[in-house]
Amino acid sequence: MNQKNIDIMMIGHVTRDRLVINGRTEIGAGGAVYYGSIPLSRLGIPTLVVTRLHPGDEDLLGDMRAAGVQVHAIPSAHTSEMENVYQSADQERRQARALNFAGSYHLRDIPDVTPKVILITPLAAGEVDLTLLQALSQRGPIALDVQGFVRVREGEQLVFRDWPQKKVGLAHVHYLKLDLAEGEILTGFQDPQRIVETVAAWGPQEVMLTYPGAVMVYAEGRIYQAPIAPRRKNGRTGRGDTCFATYIGCRLRLEPAEATRFAAALTSLKLEEPGPWKGEVATVRQWLAGQMAGTVG
């Protein structure tokens, strides 16, 4: 493993997903590291995934490795398993269950590399704790999906709870991602702009909020927005993971406004097909050009 070749290190469980759509069950790889790392690699961004899983489930890593993602797999007694039951035709409403859990990360688990960004994408609370978050922030800028601190496992159910140490934790975060439900849990507000401004005041320099049909980013004291407008919705799972990872990758090269637009366009294309986005950069640029011309979205 050559640390000079790593721009983004992603930390999070790869999962064995059970997707129940229109009564039909599909089983395959999942997790934010899966949906986020493959687009990053397609964009030419050297990416390392640090994950935990049972050694017998290494088949779940095949797509990432085939895409050129470096993977550091930590052996665990279990592999995380998730079930998502979609309850509407547009796949906006779903019920999620945690069927198994691959365990917590410790500092000794993390390779001694110094990437440009450390992207922490836990499935639920207990995967990464505040101590590890603080320690990793000493290595470089932290990008955090707050889901891993406000989504709590209660048996097999996943419920939202406030993060009691949020102000301490978020002081160590540079890029933060959340959705409307998570934003309301953290701040008590429902208005997207008020949520991102409130959370930014606790430490993060850039805050991404995803919600149906759009993404909002608060950066450098300004609000940036872009539509997420797929022509069809066949790939809802991994939407937010794709958008956040793409934005972080784009920010290595682009200003916030352009990174927001590109991430929203790529996510729109991802939503049209199941699985991670494996397309071409030229296709995203064509989408953006069409949107500017009013022919898509």
Taking all residues of the chain, what is their mean pLDDT, rounded to a whole number? Answer: 92
- Predicted pLDDT of residue 94: 61
The model's pLDDT over 200-243, given as tens digits with 9 standing for 90+, comes to 999 999 999 998 899 999 999 999 999 999 988 888 788 999 99
Q: Is residue 124 part of a domain?
A: yes
- Predicted pLDDT of residue 61: 98
- What CA–CA distances, in Å, run from 167 to 98, 144, 150, 295? 27, 14, 13, 43
Q: How confident is the model at residue 139 (pLDDT cuts 50, 70, 90)?
A: very high
Q: Is 54 exposed, middle or buried (0-12, 13-18, 19+ CB in 10 A)?
A: middle
Q: Is residue 278 part of a domain?
A: no
Helices 32-42 and 239-251: crossing angle in degrees, nearest 10, is 40
- Predicted pLDDT of residue 91: 46
> Residue 148: which CATH number?
3.40.1190.20
Question: What total of structural domains would you count in the chain?
Answer: 1
Q: Is residue 275 part of a domain?
A: no
- Is residue 151's pLDDT more than 80? yes
The model's pLDDT over 6-17, given as tens digits with 9 standing for 90+, comes to 999 999 999 998
- Predicted pLDDT of residue 254: 97
SS3 262: helix
Contact 216, 192 (CB under 8 A): yes
Averaged pLDDT, 30-57: 97
Q: Pick from 91, 86, 31: which is nearest to 63 by CA?
A: 31
Residue 213: both structure tokens together: 């049909």
Instruction: Name the strand (E) or helix (H) holding 74.
Output: strand 70-75
Instruction: Name the strand (E) or helix (H) holding 113.
Output: none
Q: How far apart are CA 48 and CA 64, in angstroms?
A: 10
Domain membership of residue 32 as a residue range = 3-215
Q: Is residue 100 part of a domain?
A: yes
**140: alpha, beta or left, given left = phi > 0 and alpha = psi -120 to 50?**
left
| DSSP symbol at 35 | H
Residue 168: both structure tokens together: 């301490």
Averaged pLDDT, 28-40: 95
Q: How confident is the model at residue 22 (pLDDT cuts 50, 70, 90)?
A: low
- Predicted pLDDT of residue 85: 78
- Is residue 1's pLDDT more than 60? no
The model's pLDDT over 238-254, given as tens digits with 9 standing for 90+, comes to 899 999 999 999 999 99
Q: Is residue 86 part of a domain?
A: yes
- Predicted pLDDT of residue 291: 76
Q: How far apart are CA 156 and CA 133, in angstroms?
A: 25
Q: Is residue 255 part of a domain?
A: no
Q: How confident is the model at residue 90 (pLDDT cuts 50, 70, 90)?
A: very low
Q: How far apart are CA 169 and CA 125, in angstroms?
A: 13
Q: Is residue 61 part of a domain?
A: yes
Q: Is residue 223 part of a domain?
A: no
The strand pair at 24-30 and 15-21 is best described as: antiparallel
SS3 174: coil
